[in-house]
Amino acid sequence: MSVSSRLKSFLDSKQIHYESLSHSTSYTAQGVAAVMQISGKEMAKTVVLRAGEQGEETILAVLPGPRHVKLDKFSAAIGKPVRLATELEFSSLFPDCELGAMPPFGSLYDLPVYVDESLAKDEQIVFNAGTHRDAVRMRYDDFLRIAQPVVCSFA
């Protein structure tokens, strides 16, 4: 498998420069960073959350690999309760991706995206490209422009 065709089409349509990268199989952001020999903070991981009183809204949180979503801080930032989504709740939302390897572009899946402001410290980011063996490297500024996330502090 390689970069998901949905992601590739999206990136190509935006006419931005990106690099497709292959690596040995790894299931965590820190693991990908290690096998690719990059800093863990350059590796952007995508975490699926459920928001709202009943957890009725699915959202994506994007943050540096070594950091964790602070749910109370995230809740305060968006003004509603949040919790981690279960695999059962989100597995069908990303049909072109391996479980846990979804890219940080909510627009591909009709989901809002929030990015932690700490990702802005690096000029480039690397993220999963739909598999546990493929990644994409691109400029953080290009990511912001095409993903149009809400930038806040939650990690």
Structural domains in the chain, CATH included, are 5-152 (3.90.960.10)
pTM over 0.85: yes
Burial class for 34, CB neighbours closer than 10 Å (0-12, 13-18, 19+): middle
pLDDT score of 144: 95
Cα torsion at 78, 79, 81, 85 (round to 10°)?
A: -20
Helix (H, G, I), strand (E, B) or coil at 10: helix
pLDDT score of 22: 76
Which stretches of the chain score pLDDT less than 70? 1, 24, 26-37, 39-41
pLDDT score of 27: 62
